[in-house]
Amino acid sequence: MHSSQPRIRVSVLGAGAWGTALAAAAATHHDVCLWARDIDLIQSMSANRQNMRYLPGLDLPASIHFTADITQAIEHGTAQSTQTPAIIILGTPVIGLRDICARLSQHFHASNQTATQPKTSIVWTCKGLDPQTGQLPHEIVAQALGASAHYSLGVLSGPSFAKEVAQGLPVALTVASVDESLRALVREIFHHDPMRIYATTDVVGVEVGGALKNIMAIACGIADGLALGNNARAALITRGLAEMTRFGVKIGADAATFSGLTGLGDLVLTSTGELSRNRQVGLALGKGQSLSDILASGSTAEGVRCAQAVSIRAKSLGVDMPITDAVCQVLFHHVPVKQAVSQLLAREAKSE
């Protein structure tokens, strides 16, 4: 698949665990630049060929170029002609997405991008809703970047733990974009053993699955922390999937997306996998720890950040989200976990 294709210039903006893992995966076949704003992290990775902060113990390909220069990183990922394919991958969390897109917009505005240049390919990987605005990532990107005629946009998501991807273990992901050429570009970069890339046009469905499965994973962690058993976990996963689907379809997603990798696949992984930060937060809550103590210990989980935003947006849409609401009760309203679970179990019986 790669022998007859040119090497693609790939810039990954954000050197957290996932950005670093994707950079490592792409570097087996393509020219990769990995950017972080923290110069100490960049110097450490350059010296040790490891991301000691986010993926300690895992060696990174010698071909990755590390930089703290955002201009250099953007230019590396910008195609100058159709013969020199390139892509920018945004590896920042949702809370950093607006800022990084604003920096991209400033760069392209200053560089006087012309109509004859190829569109700049941009893919984001973050999962969640903006805690302040309730926007999904594609809504943030559209607002921050403006002039969509200059950009080819998409999201890469699916059931994956960064550590396993960096180790070269098998994984299947989904790229979502309305632009067929972008979907093909992402597949060309990443679709090689042991990584499989599937494609869809359903950006909304992929993003909703990626955001809401984190909330459901917190719920499953709480149930496991309370030792409620495998039956309870199966019920939460199944009803959680129904909740995700209801919300997604209401805002334009295809219901079928939720039975795929970025729906059911990501939900099962995040709700049951020991590497899941969201599940670990739920486990700690179920065992009686307070959220402030859990977060103070260094745990960060996207589900905590976006749960309230999802609940607010769902209410404005008239979508029933009992599991999300129960998680919010525990996270933000100091409702004891056992009481929140009891309230869920006391809900009126209904048809599935």
pLDDT of 333 reads 95
Is position 350 within any domain? no
Q: Are residues 182 and 227 in the same domain?
A: no
Compute CA 259 distance to the chain's CA centroid, rounded to the nearest angstrom. 18
pLDDT of 306 reads 94
Tell me: pLDDT of 2 over 60. Answer: no
Which DSSP category does 68 fall into? S
Is position 279 within any domain? yes
Q: Report yes or no: 149 and 114 within 8 Å, Cβ to Cβ.
A: no
| Structural domain boundaries enclosing 284 | 212-345
Q: Are residues 261 and 290 in the same domain?
A: yes
Q: Are residues 147 and 251 in the same domain?
A: no
Q: Are residues 194 and 246 in the same domain?
A: no
Tell me: pLDDT of 46 over 50. Answer: yes
Greater confidence (298 vs 138) lies with 138
Q: Are residues 66 and 17 in the same domain?
A: yes
Is position 207 within any domain? no
List the CATH number of the domain containing 298: 1.10.1040.10
Mark whether 213 is an active-site residue.
yes
Output the CA–CA distances (angstroms, integers) from residue 198 to 61, 66, 163, 165, 184, in the order listed.
Answer: 25, 29, 21, 16, 10
Catalytic hit among 119, 127, 213, 315: 213
Binning pLDDT at 50, 70 and 90, where does residue 293 land?
Answer: very high
Q: Are residues 177 and 45 in the same domain?
A: yes
Among candidate residues 168, 201, 234, the one where a domain is terminated: 201
Tell me: pLDDT of 1 over 50. Answer: no
Binning pLDDT at 50, 70 and 90, where does residue 299 land?
Answer: low
Place of tokens 């939460």: 236
Q: Are residues 172 and 59 in the same domain?
A: yes
Mean pLDDT of the region 320-348:
92
Output the CA–CA distances (angstroms, integers) from residue 254 to 72, 209, 257, in the order listed.
Answer: 38, 11, 6
Is position 2 within any domain? no
Q: Are residues 46 and 191 in the same domain?
A: yes
Q: Picking from 101-115, 208-222, 278-292, 316-330, which range would have the lowest pLDDT averaged per residue? A: 101-115
Is position 206 within any domain? no
Q: Are residues 172 and 37 in the same domain?
A: yes
Q: Picking from 67-81, 141-155, 241-255, which range would have the lowest pLDDT averaged per residue? A: 141-155
Q: Are residues 111 and 136 in the same domain?
A: yes
Is position 159 within any domain? yes
| Tokens of residue 25, six digits | 């995966």
Q: Are residues 192 and 310 in the same domain?
A: no
pLDDT of 3 reads 46
pLDDT tens by residue, 93-121: 999 999 999 999 999 888 766 666 789 99
Is position 332 within any domain? yes
DSSP H helices, the chain, are 17-26, 39-48, 70-76, 94-110, 137-145, 162-166, 180-190, 203-225, 230-250, 266-272, 277-286, 291-296, 302-317, 322-332, 337-345
Q: Picking from 21-25, 58-62, 109-113, 337-341, which range would have the lowest pLDDT averaged per residue? A: 109-113
**Alpha carbon distance 269, 278 (integer Å):** 11
Binning pLDDT at 50, 70 and 90, where does residue 65 land?
Answer: very high
Q: Are residues 189 and 219 in the same domain?
A: no
pLDDT tens by residue, 207-263: 999 999 999 999 999 999 999 999 999 999 999 999 999 999 999 999 999 999 999
pLDDT of 115 reads 62
Is position 351 within any domain? no
Mean pLDDT of the region 306-325:
97
Mean pLDDT of the region 280-289:
96
Q: Picking from 135-139, 143-147, 169-173, which range would have the lowest pLDDT averaged per residue? A: 143-147
**Alpha carbon distance 276, 200 (integer Å):** 25
Mean pLDDT of the region 78-104:
94
Among candidate residues 201, 229, 261, the one where a domain is terminated: 201
Output the CA–CA distances (angstroms, integers) from residue 324 to 75, 181, 213, 297, 332, in the order listed.
Answer: 41, 36, 10, 24, 12
Kind of pairing between the strands at 151-157 and 171-176: antiparallel
Neighbours of 9 (CB within 10 A): 20
Binning pLDDT at 50, 70 and 90, where does residue 179 land?
Answer: very high
Q: Picking from 142-146, 249-253, 327-331, which range would have the lowest pLDDT averaged per residue? A: 142-146
Long-range contacts made by residues 176-179, C-beta under 8 angstroms, separation at least 24?
176/200, 176/201, 176/202, 176/203, 176/205, 176/206, 176/207, 176/262, 177/123, 177/152, 177/153, 177/201, 177/203, 178/203, 179/119, 179/152, 179/153, 179/154
Count the domains in the chain: 2
List the CATH number of the domain containing 72: 3.40.50.720
Binning pLDDT at 50, 70 and 90, where does residue 174 land?
Answer: very high
Among candidate residues 150, 168, 201, the one where a domain is terminated: 201
